[in-house]
Every structure is written in C-alpha cells, then in structure tokens.
C-alpha cells in the first residue's frame, strides 16, 4: 500500500463519483456503505446522503476508499487506481464529514502493477513473519526460478557448436561430449545461483522494483522462497559437480583442460562475486562473451577430440558476442537499481545513445564474422544460414531507444534478443551438420 499525502489524497478522491465508507459500529460489527460525494471543499470530505440507520457514530474513526478498475474481457483489468483515507467523522444531518488524518493510494498510470507489487514485497514479508507463514512453491518451480533454467541456452549453443565442429572434422565422441555438456550446465547453473547471492549481498536485486522475466535476478531470496544459505550451498554443490567432471576430463583427455576450467571458474564466479566483481567494473559483457563463446566451445572441442581448434574459437565468437548482448539489453531496466547500489555496468556508465549504438555495433561485428568465415575459408559455406539470426537483432534494435525508459515495454525486445542468440547459434550448428552430410 503506497503512502499518499493527505491533501493529495483529498484532491484525488474528488475525481471519483462515489466511495465506500467503512467503520465499526457500537456493537463491534464492521459496516460498509456506498456513499456519493456531497458538495465539499477545503480539507474535509463531505459524503452522503447516508441512510440514518447506516450513519457512523459521532467522532468514530472511519475509512473511505475510492477506486476505479476497468475489466478487459479475456485479458484482465487495467486503469486500476484507488485512494484510501482515514480519519474521525462528524454527522451533519444525513451527511458525513470526514477529516482525513492519513491516506494511501495507487494509480496504475503512475506505477505499473508489477512495480507496485514489488515495492510492497518488504511489507508482505513483514506480514507473513508476523503470522508465522512463508510463501511456498512446488519443488520444480523453486528450482526453475532459483537456477533460471531457461538461460541454459547460453550453454547449450556453444557446446553444441563445438560438437558439430568436431563432427565436421570426423572426431566427434558422444560420451565425452555429453560429459562436457553436463559439466557446462552445472557450471552455468552455479553461476546463476551465486550471482543471485552476490546481488542479494550488494542490495542491487532488493533495490530493483522493475524486475522482468529476463532481468532483476530470480527474486527467490527477496521473496523468501529460498534462503541465502541454501542458495550458497546449492552454488557450491553445482561448482563441485562441474569441477569434479572437469578434473576427470583433464585426467583422461588433456591436462590443458585444467587451464580452461580455471579460467572458466574465475570468469563465472567473478562475474558478480568478490573479489573480482567484473560486472561492477563494466567488464560483464567481455567476460560473458569470452566465457560463453571461445572458452566453452574450445574447451568442449578439446575434451571431445584431445586437440585444440582455432576454428572452434572463431566460430564461437559470434555466439559469445550475442550472448553478451543478452546481458547487455537485460541490464537496461536494471539501470536505476544498479546505479543506486554501485553496480557500475556499461548500461549505468553510458548514455542511452551510446548504449543503443553499442548494441548495433556488436551485432554487426557478430554477423560480419559469420559472413567472413566462409569467405576466408575458416568455416563451411552452409554456416551462412546463421545470418538469418540478424532478423531478431533488428527487431531488438529498432524500438530500443524508444522503450529505453519503459521496463515492461522492453520485455518483447529482451525476448527477441534471446531468440537472436539462440537462432544464430542453432543455425551455425545446422550449417556444420549440413556440411557433414553434403
């Protein structure tokens, strides 16, 4: 419930044709009655006429709510707004004069519903603490949210690309590839979880009142769904699994994988966690581009084939760049909270025009590399199919400047940006598979 200055509440209440007057009668029963506005001016509200048997006791504390809502069949509601006032009442004939002492209110046009709900999370948790209850989700949805499973596309694509390149070279080994995939998935989930812990510690997620399905963290710590300790232990377990598999691969395939794993650990853990906190230093995008591009692809190729491949490095650079652009665009609605808590991302450091131009430039480089690969004889000709991913880059870029300050209007853009990365990566994989067949 949002606080509202009494004078502002009185002024707003007069734009509603009627309200609902509530009080407790002398017998202790609650009473609510619809009341129209009378001709009132000044600081008081004059309501009525009210039936004699429904008049509140003289001097009783009353509450009045004025509200508006518009049903949208098949969709829900919009144009929601309300004003609440409380204060002592005086009865004047059939009228009730209320002298407001406190007020609250909300207008969806000023504060979108999801932001309004987010701003009241602390009050909701306080209420649940008092009642001895806590929010709960099924185990599946808790894991789904806490680990942010949908973002695993950022791992599947470079690992799949490395496997396709190994197949094109006639050196694919399914068992080793699956083991690499498991290690990469565990590491990525561990990164997601530890990042939530780090953002909870820094306060950036708590300060974020405009989270979306693509930004603002999983929120499971903020909502009380999972404790910080459980999240930290989960991250430790996932890192241990990834590290254990990495040691096995290093011992059986190539000791060079120890260096690859060490670099991946530093990049992933250090993304938000101390002491590195790369994203706080404006290095989040380069770290993501490197980790979810060449490091993951070249590491997978090395584990599968026991050899290093510059082709896997080159082919994965566009994938890494477009993965970094997911992070880049997703940070736009997080900008106010990140700035307030000292998380100095590129989005915080740069003005809007540079941010938008930066997105276009990186996407242009990514697709230029896709185009240049076959021309330079580095990648097979069918990988040119990946240029089709540029369609979604354009769909993201065109409205970005216009919607920059509108967190929820950015959601379709963030979605198309993810599709851009996924489509480009899968088309690259398809290109290699076609090159194997033909």
CATH number for position 393: 1.10.600
Q: How many helices (H) and strands (E) does the chain have?
A: 17, 7
Task: Print the SS3 string covering 2-28.
Answer: CECCHHHHHHHHCCCCEEEEEEECCCC
**Residue 78 sits in the same domain as residue 209:** no
**Residue 97 sits in the same domain as residue 146:** no
300 with 157: CB under 8 angstroms? no
DSSP labels, 201-235: HHTHHHH-S--BTTBS---TTTTTSS-HHHHHHHH
Please check whether residue 125 lies inside any domain of the structure. Answer: no
**Residue 274 sits in the same domain as residue 317:** yes
Q: How many domains does the chain have?
A: 2
Element (DSSP H or E) covering residue 89: strand 76-92
Please check whether residue 126 lies inside any domain of the structure. Answer: no
**Residue 147 sits in the same domain as residue 245:** yes
State the angle between helix axes of 139-147 and 174-202 in degrees (0 to 180), rounded to the nearest 10.
Answer: 80
Q: How far apart are CA 196 and CA 125, in angstroms?
A: 19
**Residue 47 sits in the same domain as residue 185:** no
**Residue 146 sits in the same domain as residue 105:** no
Q: How far apart are CA 381 and CA 375, in angstroms?
A: 8
**Residue 185 sits in the same domain as residue 43:** no
Q: What is the radius of gyration, based on Cα positions, of the chain?
A: 28
**Residue 76 sits in the same domain as residue 177:** no
| CA-closest candidate to residue 413, choices 216, 215, 221 | 215
Q: What pLDDT is stored for residue 28 in this prediction? A: 92
Q: How far apart are CA 427 and CA 384, in angstroms?
A: 8
**Residue 424 sits in the same domain as residue 321:** yes
Q: Show the domain range for 225.
A: 139-437
Please check whether residue 145 lies inside any domain of the structure. Answer: yes
Q: What pLDDT is stored for residue 76 in this prediction? A: 86
- Which residues have a Cβ under 8 Å from the Cβ of 299 and sit 6 or more positions away? 162, 180, 257, 260, 261, 264
Q: What pLDDT is stored for residue 1 in this prediction? A: 53
Q: What are phi and psi of 282, to 5 degrees?
A: 75, 20
* pLDDT per 10-residue tile (average), the chain, 438 residues: 85 92 94 89 90 93 95 88 96 92 93 90 89 90 95 97 98 97 96 94 92 94 94 96 96 96 92 91 96 97 97 98 98 95 95 98 98 98 98 98 95 97 98 95
Q: What pLDDT is stored for residue 123 in this prediction? A: 87
Please check whether residue 119 lies inside any domain of the structure. Answer: no
Which CATH number goes with the domain that contains 59? Answer: 2.30.110.10
**Residue 357 sits in the same domain as residue 254:** yes
pTM for this prediction: 0.89
Classify residue 408 by burial, with Cβ atoms within 10 Å: 0-12, 13-18, 19+.
middle
**Residue 143 sits in the same domain as residue 80:** no
Q: What pLDDT is stored for residue 287 in this prediction? A: 96
């Amino acid at each position: 419930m949002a606080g509202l200055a009494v004078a502002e509440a009185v002024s707003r209440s007069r734009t509603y044709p009627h309200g609902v007057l509530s009080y407790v009668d002398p017998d202790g029963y609650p009473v609510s009655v619809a009341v129209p506005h009378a001709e009132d001016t000044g600081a008081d509200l004059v309501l009525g006429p009210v039936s004699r048997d429904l008049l509140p006791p003289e001097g009783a504390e009353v509450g009045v709510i004025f509200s508006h809502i518009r049903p949208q069949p098949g969709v829900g509601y919009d144009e929601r707004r309300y004003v609440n006032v409380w204060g002592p009442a005086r009865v004047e004939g059939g009228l009730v004069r209320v002298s407001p002492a406190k007020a609250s209110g909300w207008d969806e046009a000023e504060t979108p519903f999801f932001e309004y709900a987010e701003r009241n999370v602390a009050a909701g948790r306080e209420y649940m603490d008092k009642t001895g209850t806590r929010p709960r989700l099924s185990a599946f949805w808790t894991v789904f949210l806490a680990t942010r499973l949908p973002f695993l596309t950022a791992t599947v694509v470079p690992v799949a690309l490395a496997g396709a390149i190994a197949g094109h070279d006639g050196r694919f080994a399914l068992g080793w590839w699956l083991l690499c995939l498991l290690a990469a998935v565990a590491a990525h989930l561990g990164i997601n979880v530890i990042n939530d812990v780090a953002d909870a510690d820094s306060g950036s997620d708590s300060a974020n009142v405009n989270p979306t399905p693509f930004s603002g963290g999983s929120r499971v710590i903020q909502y009380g769904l999972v404790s910080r300790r459980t999240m930290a232990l989960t991250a430790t377990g996932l890192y241990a699994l990834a590290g254990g598999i990495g040691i096995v691969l290093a011992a059986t395939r190539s000791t060079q994988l120890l260096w690859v794993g060490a670099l991946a650990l530093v990049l992933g853990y250090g993304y938000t966690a101390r002491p590195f906190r790369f994203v706080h230093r404006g290095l989040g995008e380069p770290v993501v581009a490197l980790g979810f591009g060449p490091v993951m692809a070249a590491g997978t190729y090395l584990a599968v084939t026991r050899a290093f491949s510059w082709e896997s490095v080159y082919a994965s650079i566009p994938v890494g760049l477009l993965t970094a652009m997911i992070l880049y665009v997703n940070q736009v609605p997080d900008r106010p909270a990140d700035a307030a808590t000292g998380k100095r991302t590129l989005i915080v450091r740069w003005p809007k025009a540079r941010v938008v131009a930066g997105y276009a430039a990186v996407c242009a480089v990514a697709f230029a590399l896709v185009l240049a690969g076959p021309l330079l004889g580095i990648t097979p000709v069918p990988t040119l199919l990946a240029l089709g991913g540029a369609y979604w880059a354009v769909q993201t870029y065109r409205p970005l400047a216009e919607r920059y300050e509108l967190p929820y209007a950015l959601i379709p853009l963030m979605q198309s940006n993810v599709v851009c990365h996924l489509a480009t990566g899968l088309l690259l994989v398809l290109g290699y598979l076609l090159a194997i067949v033909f």
